[in-house]
Amino acid sequence: MGNLQQTTGNGQQKTDNDTIAAIATPIGQAGIGIIRISGPLSAEIAEKTFRPQKPVQGLNSHHLYLGNFLDPSSGDMVDEVLLSFMKAPHSYTREDIVEINSHSGYLLLSRILQIILDQGARLARPGEFTLRAFLNGRIDLTQAEAVIDLINAKSDRGLHLASQQIQGTFRNEIEGLRQKAIDFLAHAEVAIDFPDEESEIISREKTSKRIGKEIVKPIEDLIEAQATKRLWVDGINTVIVGRVNAGKSSILNRLLNEQRAIVTAIPGTTRDIIESTITIEGLPLRLMDTAGFRNVKNEVERIGIHFTEQKLAEADFLLVVIDQSRPLNHNDHNIIAQSRGKNALIVINKIDLPSRLSKEAEHDAFSGLPIVKISALTGQGLDQLRKGISGCLLKGDIDVTSPDVAPNLRHRQALIDAAQFFKSAGRKAKKDAPMEIVAFELKSGLDALGKIIGETTTEEVLDSIFSQFCLGK
Ligand SMILES: Nc1nc2c(ncn2[C@@H]2O[C@H](COP(=O)(O)OP(=O)(O)OP(=O)(O)O)[C@@H](O)[C@H]2O)c(=O)[nH]1
Ligand SMILES: [Mg+2]
């Protein structure tokens, strides 16, 4: 537990006192760009660099001012800007914040930022504004993580889950479980202090049952919800596989409605994985086109096929493309065999050409698998393909009525640990183990839950979370 550090929402670990600044909007040409400053020097920097159009006595919090941004070293006007000031603690970071809306363009934004840095701010690290919001107790760790989910969400549902989490629904759920565990712990401690009265205070059998029902079961439900959430937030890993030249890239292009992947009559055209996100009937798909299967000697293509095999193994859903103008060969049979036991849709392509699939072969090879028939060339059957995809996904693992709160992978691990400890506490309570041991298991479970909200978190964990942020967030 050497480097376990308390970083509570009550600010036990303090942020440094630096004033930080960053460009908060994406680099590139856009209508406006925003530069954000947070920390004790914010207002002072604004006063040195900003001349409001109408003179004011100091900046009022949560007001928007029109004026000019100046370089104080030369007095030159840099841009006409809108400036707002959010006084601590009523701001994103709970520190004084100044935001400057300028015209956009990388050079202009960089110049404004440089002037701000010259006035004593330092460049913010990725996620540092949100880190400060966490360290200053405005949000807990689950809310900070939801900010990343919100930015990365691939579907309406993913957005909804992230926005729920930002509002603290998940945090409340975990806090509720922690409170229950604390109640049990209090009972256990009373029993330790007054051993003779133990039987009157709690019946061990009953306690064990209640720990199971009120703590372990809800934790297990949350663990289950994680799998669903991953699909909604990150998208369903959908991998298009098949023999070379079957029409995989043509199908990707058709679904995306653009010429994303190169299509040629040369077998082995695709080598790298080509990835794009689409939504089909509200379902977010991370669609991946892959190198076709065949026996190859060429090194580049061999690597491509190796990637395909990896993606195939990780896929949530497979589109298995079969070229009906060629009889099935051992590559087709192999791919079909690998897709059994997975959620897969057989896409028989090139129906504009005469079929060379024998009825028996078709019957045997595809038995029990859902099939759609299309022509990627003419577009025939494309609607059935979309329906087939959503049909497969909805009957599969994807719970459309998934809960409003759902953990991520980090939470999942902590929940699994917590469930173990609480289960063990329940078992030991029942078996008349010394109450000290029951209390110890309860405390360990509490610690595991505390990691989720950031009550007890190592510095490495914080680093790994906040490094996923972009600059200026
Ligand atoms: N007649 C016909 N030709 C098609 C159809 N779909 C694809 N093709 C053609 O088949 C050839 C291969 O298509 P691709 O989409 O590149 O096939 P692929 O599976 O991605 O091929 P690799 O990347 O080499 O594995 C091209 O000449 C396409 O124009 C179809 O439905 N009908
Ligand atoms: Mg291809």
- pLDDT tens digits, 200-240: 455 888 999 999 999 999 999 998 888 777 777 778 899 99
Answer whether residue 402 shows pLDDT above 90. Answer: no
User: Is residue 398 pLDDT above 70, yes or no?
Assistant: no
Class of domain 239-395: alpha beta
pLDDT per residue as tens digits for the range 88-132? 999 999 999 999 999 988 899 999 999 999 999 999 998 899 999
**Residue 326 confidence (pLDDT):** 95
274 lines ligand 1 (CB under 6 A): no
- The pLDDT score that the predictor gives to residue 15 is 64
Q: Whose CA is nearest to atom 11 of ligand 1?
A: 265
Predicted confidence band of residue 396 (pLDDT cuts 50, 70, 90): low
Residue (of 142, 350, 334, 155) closest to 251 by Cα position:
350
- pLDDT band with cut points at 50, 70 and 90 for residue 317: very high
Burial string for 267-287 (b: 16+ CB within 10 Å, else e) reads: ebbbbeebbbebebeebbbbb
Determine the Cα–Cα distance for residues 307 and 405; give it in Å rounded to an integer.
34
Q: Where are the domains of the chain?
A: 20-137, 146-231+405-466, 239-395
Instruction: Give the least confident one: 63-72, 187-196, 307-316.
Output: 187-196
Q: Is the pLDDT of residue 10 over 50?
A: no
Whether 239-395 and 20-137 are alike in CATH topology: the answer is no
Q: Which residue did the predictor score with more confidence, 322 or 358?
A: 322
Dihedral of alpha carbons 190, 194, 195, 197, sign: negative
Query: Distance from the CA of 250 to the center of ligand 1, in angstroms?
Result: 6
Ligand 1 centre to CA of 391 (Å) is: 25
Shortest-distance ligand to the CA of residue 352:
1
Q: Which residues lie below 8 Å from residue 89, measured CB to CB, with a gap of 6+?
A: 95, 136, 138
Helix (H, G, I), strand (E, B) or coil at 230: helix
For residue 362, report the distance from its CA to the centre of ligand 2, in Å. 23
Sign of torsion over alpha carbons 112, 117, 119, 122: positive
∠ CA 356-358-363 to the nearest 5 degrees? Answer: 135
CB of 379 shorter than 6 A to ligand 1: no
Fold classified for 146-231+405-466: Four Helix Bundle (Hemerythrin (Met), subunit A) (1.20.120)
Q: In this structure, which residue's CA is closest to atom 26 in ligand 1?
A: 265
Q: Average the pLDDT over 437-447 and give the result.
A: 96
Closest-CA residue to 291 (of 345, 348, 249): 249
Gap between the Cα atoms of 136 and 15, Å rounded: 8
**Could you tell me the pLDDT band of residue 323, with boundaries at 50, 70 and 90?**
very high
Residue 21's DSSP bridge partners are: 37, 123
Give the CATH number of domain 20-137: 3.30.1360.120
Candidates 262, 263, 319: which one to mutate for ligand 1, based on the most atoms within 8 Å of Cβ? 263
pTM comes to 0.68
What is the pLDDT confidence band of residue 401, given thresholds at 50, 70 and 90?
A: low
